Amino acid sequence: MAVVSNDIAPPPTAGPPECLFCRIVAGEIPATVVHQTPTTLAFRDIAPKAPVHVLVIPKAHYPDLTSLAEADPGLAGEVLTAVAAVAKAEGLLGDGYRTIVNTGRHGGQEVFHVHAHVLGGAPLGPMIAR
């Protein structure tokens, strides 16, 4: 007999209708896709901050890193695996790259669908400029 707990909500699959990244996943907004798995999508940032700037997202909607990690650590790992695959495909392994996941307004998050930035292709400078 299966045990059902009301304490754990099922993971979200689609976010609010205004979620930009959910609309990209749904094919409503075009994106230059560079990598895709059944659970993740990676596409070029439309306002790149480095010669290579790719966003890696889970296809399911989670507003931030904390909610993803708490609800589905396996999917969080799949996002990191996709980050590594993108870095390799973009030729970033030799000189290195930076991965950034902004969480919350103070963390600089602008789109509230968790996403990892993969940046590289040139020296990136200090982590935080003041």
Q: Which of 35, 61, 113, 115 is labelled catalytic?
A: 115
DSSP 8-state assignment for residue 97: E
φ, ψ for residue 34 (rounded to 5)? -115, -15
91: left (phi over 0), alpha (psi -120 to 50) or beta: left
Active site annotation includes 106 = no
| Catalytic sites, residue numbers | 115
